[in-house]
Amino acid sequence: FNKDGFRDLPTGNQFSLVNRYKYDDSKGMMVQFGFKVMTDRKTGGQTSFDAKRDKGTTNLFGLGINTNRYEGFAKIGYVFPQKVYKSIGLQLAGISHTQDSYFGLTNYNAKQQSFYSNLIYQSIIGTTIHKFRTGLSFQYDQYNEDFKNNNYKRTEIVPGAFFEYTYTPNEKFSAVGGIRIDNNNLYNTFITPRLNIRYEPIKGSVFRGSIGRGQRTANIFAENTSVFVSARQVNIFATNAKGAYGLNPEIAWNKGISFDQKFRLFQRDASLNIDFYRNDFTDQVVVDIENARQVRFYNLAGKSYSNSFQTELTINPAPKLDIRLAYRYFDVKTTYSNQLLQRPFISGHRAFISADYSINNWKFDYTITYNGKKRIPNTSDNPPPFKLAEYSPDFILMSAQISKTIGKKNPMDFYVGAENITNFFQQNVIVSAEQPFSPYFDASMVWGPINGRMLYVGWRLKIK
């Protein structure tokens, strides 16, 4: 669409298979198990790039991502027939994931082997007013990553235990408090408490509140693949010899409140939702791209937080017509090199309107979204032709779809639609697109759609 000589979307093929099985003996025992298989092959870069001819050379810039993923899972549960409030369950899951990829002259290869198990027991204390769940969990993750001639290996072993108590004295009030204790072989023992409260003073009016602590290990390459499609130098400022990539885990406290109101409008059901959430990081892996020549990973030294306010109204002004209106305010800031800045590429204001109408097996959908301006990382280090504005423009996107359902036993849906009806797309997406192997090349400065108007047609078949 933007005629820069690069594919707007990668080409390739994907194969996926999911198979699930379920057994229920009608006496309390239930078993579910299955597997998933996925292979994905993608090629992108300049439109004339040929992997057989140009891979590993500076003839043309290209990228290729080959992914193989295998998953197995099982759930085994037993509900005591005479005490339906009492049950025991076991969850098991295993993953094998491999990725071989190249981005220009940069190679990134990764392997992941994971196993997860979770044993849960739930019952009551005296009466069903006091319920509890407790159990043990075990997480095993092995990672092996090769990036720019550097190897990053780690094995995480995390056994844990948890306890959750639910108090429901009546239909108007409930409180759920829980605590987890885990021991990570890289980060030692950590505790994650949480509390959720629900209160419905009158029918249809519900208040909710929550607070909790979370901890995770960041996978800096897998979660930031944009660093692969630029000439930036990658620098990791290690401060923890035992930690993944030499960095600390991410730790945050999250809290929030919400209000839901159901009411009648136009003699039909309607609802209003208002919520506010805040996350405060006490530790975080900062991805700093404020220098146009580098991407730097380091532990947080300062503040990092996010405030999210959202309101949504759902109405039915006419039979079989649903209209949703939503607005979201997002304030996300992080300390970059001792300077508190808005997180790049995040829209502070976003609005949404959708209308759905159905009649006689026909369905019509129309959606409008508004995206406010986004901060663009600092590019003042670049020569004038490669400097970008400080903020992106705001923009509006529209999409529509019409579908028709035929048949009852094995229904088939025929549909036609359009995405990005206004044909808005980002111009000059790639910095230094004419010289993809120059030190100024950067294809990660994406703040908006890179595809213009797209029309599609298709069908879906459901077999029961």
**182: its two tokens:** 């885990």
Chain segment 148-161, per-residue pLDDT in tens: 889 999 999 999 99
pLDDT averaged over every residue in the chain: 96
Q: In this predicted structure, what is the pLDDT of residue 266?
A: 87
Find out whether 435 and 46 touch, Cβ atoms under 8 Å: no
**What are residue 228's phi and psi, to 5 degrees?**
-75, -25
Domain membership flag for residue 231: no
Domain membership flag for residue 36: yes
Rounded to whole angstroms, the Cα distance separating 221 from 442 reads 17
Domain membership flag for residue 421: no
Radius of gyration of the chain (CA): 26
What are the counts of helices (DSSP H) followed by strands (DSSP E) for the chain?
1, 23
Cα–Cα distances in angstroms (integers) from residue 55 to residues 106, 128, 230, 252, 327, in the given order: 10, 64, 17, 42, 45
Cα–Cα distances in angstroms (integers) from residue 52 to residues 31, 93, 405, in the given order: 48, 38, 45
DSSP 27: S
Chain segment 46-87, per-residue pLDDT in tens: 999 999 999 999 999 999 999 999 999 999 999 999 898 999
Chain segment 194-230, per-residue pLDDT in tens: 999 999 999 999 999 999 999 999 999 999 998 899 9
Domain membership flag for residue 59: yes
Domain membership flag for residue 86: yes
Rounded to whole angstroms, the Cα distance separating 56 from 107 reads 9
Count: domains in the chain: 1
Where in the sequence is the domain holding 152, given as residue range(s)?
Answer: 1-160
Chain segment 95-149, per-residue pLDDT in tens: 999 999 999 999 999 999 999 999 999 999 999 999 999 999 999 999 999 998 8
Record the pTM.
0.91
Q: In this predicted structure, what is the pLDDT of residue 207?
A: 98
Domain membership flag for residue 457: no
**What are residue 385's phi and psi, to 5 degrees?**
-65, -20
Rounded to whole angstroms, the Cα distance separating 282 from 297 reads 16
Chain segment 328-373, per-residue pLDDT in tens: 999 999 999 999 999 999 999 999 999 999 999 999 999 999 999 9
Q: In this predicted structure, what is the pLDDT of residue 464?
A: 63
**252: its two tokens:** 């945050």
**What are residue 168's phi and psi, to 5 degrees?**
-130, 80
C-alpha neighbours within 13 Å on the C-beta side of residue 320:
9
Domain membership flag for residue 143: yes
CB-based burial label for 334 (10 Å; 0-12, 13-18, 19+):
buried
User: Is residue 426 over pLDDT 90?
Assistant: yes
Domain membership flag for residue 388: no
